[in-house]
Structure 1
Amino acid sequence: MVPIVVEVTCSLVVWLFLYACCCCCNKHRSYEWSCRLVTLLHGVIVTCLSGYVAFLDGPWPLTHAGSANTSLQIHVLSLTLGYFIFDLGWCLYFKTEGDLMLFHHTLSICGMIMVLGLGKSATEVNAVVFVSEITNPLLQARWFLREVGCYQSVLGEVVDFFFVFLFLVLRIGGGAFIMYAMVTSPEPIWLLKAGGLAMYVVSLGFMVEICRFARRKMLKKYRSWTGLRRMNAPVKTNGNLTAH
């Protein structure tokens, strides 16, 4: 357990160092800009690593829930745990996130600590990390596009589409399969199963917010389209000039 604690501590120090470097290089920007740069970097790295573990290195999470942790799974979760500790501390200090996001971070930290301490069930937790973090780079891209004034563009539309699509297909759909495999397997302890179900409920809470966002955006697009049609509609006249 001591090597894992050292690895998590080193991960936390690395993320703090990267954040400090971003702050120094972006003094004209806000602290949130630097934090989101770190979040974007973490999202890309951890999505690639957790995806490799889930699909190539194995074992397969839907059939081997509760299996012993592999060394690569331990490295990935230690890296992610260090980041989540950093991000939770940042959010609490600057008070930028709501209760739902703070609860999500707390559950994630507790779940990873439990899995690393028990020495098993990293297979399904790593899969949860993958389906959760794959949309993170797109979420950060939306924020950066808004900050630089490029959100109302084709690129903004593409980012929004893939964010909503991947969230619903992987985080909600794929997450449901992972939760089912975890709950029905006799290997994971009941506390980990309860934590997994709580994480999925949090994802459903995020889904409600995303669906509301998508509904507002579609209504706005529809109203803009109908308004444009009315403006471009041909004016019916009898051929005579109107007196002024």
Structure 2
Amino acid sequence: MSPSPLLLVTCSLAAWLALYLSLCQLNKSHSYEWNCRLVTLIHGVLIISLSAYVGFIDGPWPFTHPGSPNTPLQVQVLCLTLGYFFFDLCWCVYFQTEKALMLTHHILSILGIIMALTLGESATEVNAVLFGSEITNPLLQTRWFLRAMGHYDTLKGEAVDFLFVALFTVVRIGVGAWLLYCELLSPRPYWFVKVGGVAMYAVSWCFMVSIWRFAWRRSSKKYQVWKSQKNGDCHLNMNGHLKSR
């Protein structure tokens, strides 16, 4: 007999909290946010791997079988990540580190997972949404760590930013639109499951607008620096030529 989802979620929450407290003890020289982001990075890598296996290998395929009955493996993955979302939401609220949009994303994720576990179905598409939501997470945490260590304004930082924007646009916006279309077109999922899918996709677009604005500002700043350096070099060359005469 498999353990109940409530027990699995409780164990997951306890495990993530224990990991965070252990990192705080091991990394006393670093901030609480540093250690929390380490937990977030570990969760991201783990859930990407597990949700990819569930969605692409174990099945069923989320684009053709939305609203399918939950499999035991899907339930275990959802319980594992639900415990993490409870931990991270409480941490963010306590330390007040995130804005309303990120908190909304966490709450919608929690409600979506609880809904799938309660209904006993639709874990297929919820798992796919988790994969799409977490696929950019390691890059986001890497960006934060590079900034914290003073290595953000380097080629590594630019590469991470480019990969993050590209992956977010392709997966969360492009593939996410395809998944939402299949969800809305299918007669199997409940109407409120479809509404939840629309809400999650709308949050992704809010993130996307913010990301594009950031990318535009960063690109404009880089262009202005390059233009200033180019004009400075031209001025120096001209002065040197005049002096040589």
Q: Indicate the TM-score class for this superposition, using the shorter chain for normalisation.
A: over 0.9
Number of residue pairs aligned between Structure 1 and Structure 2:
242
Question: What SS does the corresponding residue of 1:229 show, helix, strand or coil?
Answer: helix
Post-superposition Cα deviations, 1:18-45, rounded to whole Å, max 9, x if no partner, equal 0000111111211111100000000000
Does residue 53 of structure 1 match 2:73? no
**2: CA distance between counterparts of 1:125 and 1:151?**
33
CA-CA distance at 1:192 after TM superposition: 1.0
Structure 2 gaps, min length 5: none
State the Cα deviation string for residues 44-72 of structure 1 (Å, max 9, x = none): 00001111111111111110000111111
**C-alpha distance 71-183 of structure 1, shift in aligned 2 (>3 A):** same
Q: Distance in 2 between matches of 1:4 and 1:239?
A: 79
Counterpart for residue 44 of structure 1: 45
**Which amino acid letter does the alignment assign opposite residue 130 of structure 1?**
F
> Equivalences for 1:225-244 in 2 at 5 Å?
225-233=226-234, 234-235=237-238
Give the aligned partner of residue 155 of structure 1. Answer: 156
> Per-residue deviation at 1:241?
6.9
Question: Which AA in structure 1 matches 2:196?
Answer: G
- Tell me the TM-score normalized by structure 1: 0.95
Q: Which amino acid aligns with 1:209?
A: S
Q: Which of structure 1's runs of 4+ aligned residues deviate more than 6 A?
A: none
Which whole-Å CA distance do the structure 2 matches of 1:209 and 1:82 have between them? 28
Q: Map Cα deviations across residues 49-104 of structure 1 (whole Å, 9 max, x no partner).
A: 11111111111111000011111111111111000010001111111111111111
**1:82-161 alignment, distance < 5 Å:** 82-161=83-162
C-alpha change, 1:2 and 1:219, in structure 2 (3 Å) is same
Q: 1:239–1:61: structure 2 CA closer, same or farther, 3 Å change rule?
A: closer
Distance 1:119 1:28, change over 3 A: same
> How far apart are the structure 2 equivalents of 1:118 and 1:238?
78
> Which residue of the partner structure matches residue 223 of structure 1?
224
Give the equivalent residue in structure 2 for 1:72: 73
User: Secondary structure of 2:238's match?
Assistant: coil
State the percentage of identical aligned residues.
57
Query: Which whole-Å CA distance do the structure 2 matches of 1:238 and 1:56 have between them?
Result: 67
| TM-score scaled by length of structure 2 | 0.95
Q: Please name the residue that 2:36 is paired with.
A: 35
C-alpha displacement of 1:2: 6.5
Q: Which amino acid aligns with 2:238?
A: V
The gaps in structure 1 that reach 5 residues or longer are: none
Root-mean-square deviation over aligned CA pairs:
1.6
- Provide the secondary structure at the position in 1 that maps to 2:121: coil
